[in-house]
Amino acid sequence: MPHRRLVLLAIVAVSLLIVPAAMFCAYAEPRVVSPFGATTGPEGYPRRGGLHQGVDLAAPVGTRGIAPAEGVVNRIIKYDLCGNGVVVSHGTLATVYCHLSKVDVGAGQSVQRREVLGRTGTSGLKPDPGFELLHFEVRDGPTTGAKRLDPIAFIVGCFDASQGYAADRLVLTYPLPC
């Protein structure tokens, strides 16, 4: 029956369009361009200030930096190396975001997972063109002297609205849209 064939063709055509798109989304996680503990930066130069205290995730300037779990903004920082940054407390853990061009939150503000904290930029230690990134740290508390931990050990993947994360603040999703 021609009508059935048309419907079948339409289903096949739509599947061909949707399936590759879904696969692409599932694997488009942010790219780590300099891991935790690295001695060189993404451009290959030796790091200033010793071993890398976080991870660098490739991100064009203006990318949304998003909360990887619910928490409270502990403070807004501005340092030579970090540039404009945000420190968020998540119970026993804290996360830090550096080199922002814009900060969208204030100290004391509660944030939900996926809420925008700021926009990526090149403040602080300026990257070479083509190496724009988000510096992301996990610490065992919000203080400057708190122990740095490898963020990748806490990241379960990209934010997925269908998952229930709210109960566990130690489960982090990527701090960039993916």
Q: Which is nearer to Zn ion, 72 or 125 (CB)?
A: 125
Identified binder of Zn ion from the candidate list 65, 135, 173, 176, rule CB under 5 A? 135
**Please, which of residues 44-63 interact with Zn ion by CB under 5 A?**
56
Residues near Zn ion (CB under 5 A), total: 2
Cβ neighbours of 115 (radius 10 Å): 16
Closest CB to Zn ion: residue number: 135
Closest distance between Zn ion and the C-beta of residue 103, in Å? 18
Q: Which residues contact 134 (CB under 8 A, 6 or more apart)?
A: 30, 56, 57, 59, 63, 65, 97, 98, 99, 120, 175, 176
**Please, which of residues 65-104 interact with Zn ion by CB under 5 A?**
none
Closest distance between Zn ion and the C-beta of residue 135, in Å? 3
Check: CB of residue 34 under 8 Å from CB of residue 40: yes
Closest distance between Zn ion and the C-beta of residue 9, in Å? 51
Strands, E assignment, 59-163? 64-66, 71-79, 83-90, 93-103, 110-111, 116-120, 133-139, 148-149, 155-157
Q: Which is nearer to Zn ion, 90 or 135 (CB)?
A: 135
Task: Single out the residue of 64, 79, 4 nearest to residue 30, CA to CA.
Answer: 64
Instruction: Tell me: does residue 132 bind Zn ion (CB under 5 A).
Output: no
Q: Which residues bind Zn ion (CB under 5 A)?
A: 56, 135
